[in-house]
């Protein structure tokens, strides 16, 4: 079937021009920036709060290990009622043996020397704390990278909705124009049905885009802690190294996964040393005070003792040897984990650079595609006014322009996520590195309060209780 050529109606031409101008016009500056979203994610994240609490729990492991080198002081008290009768051969009489006895014991002990077993465990706990700190930095990077994805996701979905709305408006005009021309016999019913089908498809696409925007908004709310306002396009990509090999070398030095794995190896080695020392003697200082008084008679016993004890487990069914071998095997496992982590970090850096290179190429191509599609659209629009093109030709060109703009929007969003992924892969996506205007969580503050294992009633212990109350979450 040959499609008839006819001039473009003024109403439809005006609508197309308005859409083209709106698509080409620069975005108005918005209120909320990417930095605002990152700040919100850092302060809102329950995942960060959870892992900060886990870090504080690891800090307490140091306090528990330090306590094993301090004196142990304990007391016990008893009140005993004895009853009965006593009869001897000499007296041939029965004597009541009823009395009430009270006793109080105070005991203390202090390990003087254990061949370093407890000190090894203290150092191992410190290494575990350092590993947990690095794990917290890794969680921080995950939270901030997810915030970048959520921010760009809302921007991308919003632009898709705007493009789809423009498409629906244009096809609505086309459908009306096709109906009007059909009534005067300029086009066939096929042209009207085609316009109706294109409009229905456009409305379906708009509904899908609006659904994607709702999903992106919920993701943003989950990550940042609030609904997105009007979002501003980020001004430019973050500064990253151009040399991928230099970036890999940097990641091996500073990435939190690498540092955590290194501290885990050190902790496992120290625990292996501790298990070896457990099989050697232990020397302790002991002391005891005892007060016993018979409440039914004027009798008492008061005394004490001080001594040095030494002891060693000679045989325990092979349990100590098995524990030592197990500790060495775990140390070997941590070295294997370090090897795996090293290669994973290098691969993540390489993948991030490859992704950024790909999306940048796609972005450049989509920009050229948009320019070419816009020129084609304008040319076909002019030809349509002269009757050399049909409305369908104009709509096809406009649809090609919208498709090119959609690709450009997706590539731009992907480029930002890829660039920040490189920062994450190299260990530089933190609130401190990004210079976010937030109060940076100091992992050393709590550790410094508990590292010497303060008693609950001491000055340091009371200060620690106040800190814990401030940190407690509902």
Mean pLDDT by groups of 10 residues along the chain of 474 residues: 39 40 41 91 94 94 92 92 73 72 93 93 95 96 96 94 89 81 77 83 92 95 93 88 93 96 96 93 94 82 91 88 94 96 96 94 91 88 71 77 88 94 95 94 90 72 68 58
Question: Dihedral (C-alpha) 226, 33, 36, 358: value to the nearest 10 degrees?
Answer: 90
What gap in Å lies between CA 177 and CA 237, rounded to an integer?
Answer: 45
State the sign of the Cα–Cα–Cα–Cα dihedral 408, 411, 413, 415. negative
pLDDT for 356: 94
- Residues whose CB falls within 8 Å of the CB of residue 321, separated by 6 or more in sequence, listed in order: 279
| Spatial CA neighbour of 104 closest among 80, 121, 127 | 80
- Could you write out the DSSP letters of every residue in 344-356? HHHHHHHHHHHHH
What gap in Å lies between CA 154 and CA 233, rounded to an integer?
Answer: 11
Number of H helices and number of E strands within the chain?
A: 12, 6
pLDDT for 275: 94
pLDDT for 470: 67
Largest CA distance in the chain: 144
Q: Report yes or no: 347 and 425 within 8 Å, Cβ to Cβ.
A: no
Question: Residue 331 is encoded by which pair of tokens?
Answer: 């140390």
pLDDT for 19: 38
Q: 282-294 and 299-311: which strand pairing? A: antiparallel
pLDDT for 12: 37
To which residue do tokens 């809102």 refer? 44
To which residue do tokens 């620690």 refer? 464
- Where residue 112 falls (left for φ over 0; alpha for ψ -120 to 50; beta otherwise) is alpha
Question: Residue 54 is encoded by which pair of tokens?
Answer: 């886990």
pLDDT for 467: 67
Q: 99-113 and 94-96: which strand pairing? A: unpaired
> Strand locations in 246-281, DSSP E?
none
Alpha-carbon 189 to chain mean position: 58
- Residues whose CB falls within 8 Å of the CB of residue 344, separated by 6 or more in sequence, listed in order: 257
């Amino acid at each position: 079937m040959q499609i008839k050529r006819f001039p473009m109606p003024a109403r439809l031409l005006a609508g197309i021009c308005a859409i083209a101008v709106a698509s080409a016009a620069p975005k108005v500056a918005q209120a909320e920036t990417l930095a605002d979203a990152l700040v919100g994610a850092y302060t809102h994240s329950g995942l960060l709060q959870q892992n900060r609490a886990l870090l504080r729990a690891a800090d307490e492991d140091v306090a528990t290990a330090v306590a094993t080198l301090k004196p142990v002081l304990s007391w016990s008290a008893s009140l005993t009622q004895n009853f009965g009768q006593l009869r001897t051969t000499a007296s041939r009489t029965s004597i009541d043996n009823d009395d009430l006895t009270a006793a109080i014991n105070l005991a203390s002990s202090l390990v003087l020397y254990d061949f370093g077993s407890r000190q090894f465990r203290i150092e191992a706990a410190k290494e575990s704390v350092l590993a947990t700190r690095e794990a917290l930095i890794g969680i921080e990077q995950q939270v901030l990278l997810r915030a970048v994805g959520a921010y760009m996701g809302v921007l991308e979905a919003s632009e898709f909705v705007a493009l789809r709305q423009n498409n629906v408006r244009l096809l609505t005009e086309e459908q009306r124009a096709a109906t009007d021309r059909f009534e005067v016999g300029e086009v066939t019913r096929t042209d009207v049905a085609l316009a109706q089908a294109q409009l229905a498809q456009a409305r379906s696409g708009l509904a899908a885009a609006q659904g994607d925007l709702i999903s992106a908004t919920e993701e943003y709310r989950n990550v940042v802690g609030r609904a997105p306002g009007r979002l501003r396009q980020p001004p430019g990509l973050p500064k990253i190294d151009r040399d991928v090999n230099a970036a890999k070398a940097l990641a091996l030095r500073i990435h939190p996964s690498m540092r955590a794995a290194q501290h885990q190896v050190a902790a496992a080695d120290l625990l292996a040393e501790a298990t070896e020392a457990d099989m050697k003697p232990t020397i302790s200082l002991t002391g005891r005070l005892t007060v016993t008084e018979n409440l039914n008679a004027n009798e008492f016993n008061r005394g004490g003792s001080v001594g040095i004890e030494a002891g060693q487990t000679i045989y325990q069914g092979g349990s100590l040897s098995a524990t030592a071998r197990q500790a060495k095997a775990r140390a070997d496992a941590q070295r294997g984990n370090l090897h795996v982590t090293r290669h994973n970090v290098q691969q993540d850096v390489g993948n991030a650079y490859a992704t950024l290179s790909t999306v940048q190429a796609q972005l450049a191509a989509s920009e050229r595609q948009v320019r070419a599609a816009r020129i084609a659209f304008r040319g076909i629009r002019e030809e349509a006014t002269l009757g050399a093109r049909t409305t369908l030709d104009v709509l096809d060109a406009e649809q090609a322009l919208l498709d090119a703009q959609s690709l450009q929007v997706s590539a731009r969003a992907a480029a930002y996520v890829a660039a920040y992924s490189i920062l994450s892969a190299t260990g530089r996506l933190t609130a401190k590195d990004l210079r976010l205007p937030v109060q940076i969580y100091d992992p050393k503050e709590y550790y410094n309060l508990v590292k010497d294992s303060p008693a609950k009633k001491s000055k340091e212990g009371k200060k620690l209780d106040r800190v814990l109350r401030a940190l407690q979450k509902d």
